């Protein structure tokens, strides 16, 4: 290999590493059950990842708990402390579920998604980790056209629907996936297996022994 080709190969390798670094960042979720490392995808859900990382920077998650654990569904946390006092949050982050789904992120085992109320535009700090393949949580992609000539949803077919009606329908938003567990899935399995019952303001699904998020920290890119 001549010097020019060697330098070109080296530059391309560096460029590739830079792109990879921009494509994903990693955080460590230190819990009372062990550590979880998650990879986040700022190119696929940029506003959602930026929102989450700002809460990380603000140390919002320190001392919060996984307050909702359903063993065949998901584990949810990041909003309440040990006394079930809800942490103050910033305004909601815009919903990016369709964008992240189009980029390949689905509600599958080990993925992280934003929790919210019935309002699709209400996600703030709470997140959940899927412990099953939950395709029913994936947003619905809207076909091209206005009106949309044919739209099928839950076994029914709709013809010539105004595009805005579909884009704004609350039941079609579902949940934004923005990362996945890359290490510590055994810890997630321990959390999902913890016995649950009522706790604080919640009638069920609260771990009987608190599962605490001690911290979430941004890991340096190799």
Answer whether residue 27 shows pLDDT above 60.
yes
Report yes or no on 202 lying in a domain.
Answer: yes
Residue 22's pLDDT band, with cuts at 50, 70 and 90, is: low
Report the alpha-carbon distance of residue 22 to residue 41 in Å, rounded.
8
In-domain check, residue 11? no
* Residue 216 in this model has a pLDDT that exceeds 80: yes
Query: What is the reported pLDDT for 17?
Result: 40
Of the candidate ranges 15-24, 50-59, 103-112, 195-204, the one whose mean pLDDT is the lowest = 15-24
Q: How far is CA 89 from CA 17, 75, 126, 215, in A?
A: 35, 20, 10, 17
Model-level pTM? 0.88
Shared domain check, 154 and 94: no
State mean pLDDT over 72-99. 98
Among candidate residues 74, 25, 44, the one with its CA nearest the CA of residue 216? 25
Structural domain containing residue 52 = 22-133+175-218
Q: Are residues 116 and 88 in the same domain?
A: yes
**Helices (H), ranges, the chain:** 3-23, 46-57, 97-102, 163-167, 185-192
- State whether 32 and 53 are in the same domain: yes
- Locate 107 and state its tokens: 């509600």
Kindly state whether residues 154 and 44 are assigned to the same domain.
no
Tell me the pLDDT of the chain averaged across its residues: 92
Same-domain status, 164 and 64: no
Number of structural domains, the chain? 2
Residue 4: pLDDT over 90: no
């Amino acid at each position: 290999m001549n010097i020019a080709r060697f330098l070109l190969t080296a530059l391309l390798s560096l460029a590739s590493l830079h792109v990879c670094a921009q494509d994903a960042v990693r955080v460590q979720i230190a819990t009372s059950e062990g550590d979880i490392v998650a990879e986040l995808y700022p190119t696929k859900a940029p506003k959602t990842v930026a929102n989450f990382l700002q809460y990380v920077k603000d140390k919002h998650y320190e001392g919060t708990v996984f307050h909702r654990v359903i063993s065949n569904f998901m584990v949810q946390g990041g909003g309440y402390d040990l006394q079930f006092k809800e942490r103050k949050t910033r305004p909601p982050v815009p919903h990016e579920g369709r964008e992240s789904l189009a980029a390949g992120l689905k509600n599958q085992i080990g993925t992280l998604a934003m929790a919210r109320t019935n309002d699709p535009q209400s996600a703030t700090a709470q997140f959940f980790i899927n412990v099953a393949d939950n395709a029913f949580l994936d947003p619905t992609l809207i076909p091209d056209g206005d009106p949309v000539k044919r739209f099928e949803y839950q076994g029914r077919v709709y013809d010539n629907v105004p595009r805005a009606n579909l884009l704004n329908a609350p039941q079609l938003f579902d949940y934004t996936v923005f990362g996945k567990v890359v290490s510590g899935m055994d810890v997630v399995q321990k959390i999902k297996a913890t016995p649950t019952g009522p706790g604080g303001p919640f009638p069920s699904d609260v771990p009987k022994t608190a599962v605490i998020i001690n911290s979430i920290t941004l890991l340096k890119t190799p």
